[in-house]
């Protein structure tokens, strides 16, 4: 299949599909940066540019899209009423999501954290967690699907219990994410967990 992984700079998902024999490319407005399981030799499979133009540039059998969540996720929406211009950026982000979801491609998956896509466009078809795919981490992730089946969990990683509450390795005892603020925090958090990428490639290659 010809597969486009939109808004991916790390190549993590695209390379998982290539290992199954597919013609898979990542694309983003930013350059390729090797992800957790991807080496720099995969840079030639990255298209730097606008995702919508790339979608329309050729025929794709499948698209998996990871649009930026900065102005979409619930954790940041409270700033829309406090910072001038943020609400318009949210509207722009939603327009971009709509274009991705409406792309003329038979199989489409779009990933994002819990946020306003659910209330302003439509509810997700599935919500997954990294700990369902072998990772010692919690990060509620929504999937909007068209022409694709829901992902089946592959390898449950049990939590530790803190005061009767479940916690995974990326969380403090209070439940906050351990990743400290930095200039690359957003990039690190946006890289798809390898277990999820492998599940996508295994289950959606059929």
Three-state DSSP class for 186? helix
Chain centroid to CA 180: how far? Answer: 20
pLDDT in tens, 12-28: 999 999 999 999 999 99
Kindly state the average pLDDT of the residues 34-41: 57
Closest Cα partner for 46 from 95, 12, 22? 12
| Helices (H), ranges, the chain | 12-18, 51-55, 74-77, 86-101, 117-120, 185-190, 194-203
pLDDT in tens, 66-122: 999 987 888 777 777 777 778 898 999 999 999 999 999 999 999 999 999 999 999
**11-41 burial: b if 16+ Cβ within 10 Å, else e:** bbbbbbbbeeebebbbbbeeebbbbebbeee
Give the pLDDT band (50/70/90) at residue 32: confident
Is 0.85 surpassed by the pTM of this model? yes
**C-alpha dihedral over 199, 201, 203, 206, to 10 degrees?**
-170
Q: What pLDDT is stored for residue 87 in this prediction? A: 87
CATH number for 123:
3.40.50.150
Residue numbers of the domain that contains 46: 2-203
Domain count for the chain, please give it: 1
In the predicted model, is pLDDT for residue 34 greater than 70?
no
């Amino acid at each position: 299949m010809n597969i486009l992984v939109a808004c991916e700079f790390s190549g993590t998902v695209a390379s998982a599909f290539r290992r199954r024999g597919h013609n898979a490319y990542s694309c983003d407005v930013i350059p390729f940066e090797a992800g957790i399981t991807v080496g720099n030799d995969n840079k030639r499979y990255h298209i730097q540019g606008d995702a919508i133009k790339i979608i329309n540039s050729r025929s794709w059998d499948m698209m998996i899209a990871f649009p930026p969540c900065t102005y979409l996720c619930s954790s940041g929406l409270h700033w829309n009423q406090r910072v001038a211009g943020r609400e318009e950026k949210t509207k722009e982000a939603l327009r971009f999501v709509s274009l991705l979801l409406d792309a003329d491609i038979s199989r489409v998956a779009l990933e994002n954290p819990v946020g306003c896509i659910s209330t302003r466009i439509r509810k997700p078809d599935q919500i997954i967690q990294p700990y369902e795919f072998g990772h010692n981490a919690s990060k509620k992730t929504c999937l909007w699907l068209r022409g694709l089946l829901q992902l089946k969990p592959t390898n449950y990683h049990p939590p530790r219990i803190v005061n009767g509450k479940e916690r995974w390795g990326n969380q403090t005892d209070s439940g906050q994410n351990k990743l400290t603020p930095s200039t690359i925090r957003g990039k690190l958090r946006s890289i798809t967990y390898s277990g999820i990428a492998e599940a996508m490639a295994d289950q959606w290659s059929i």
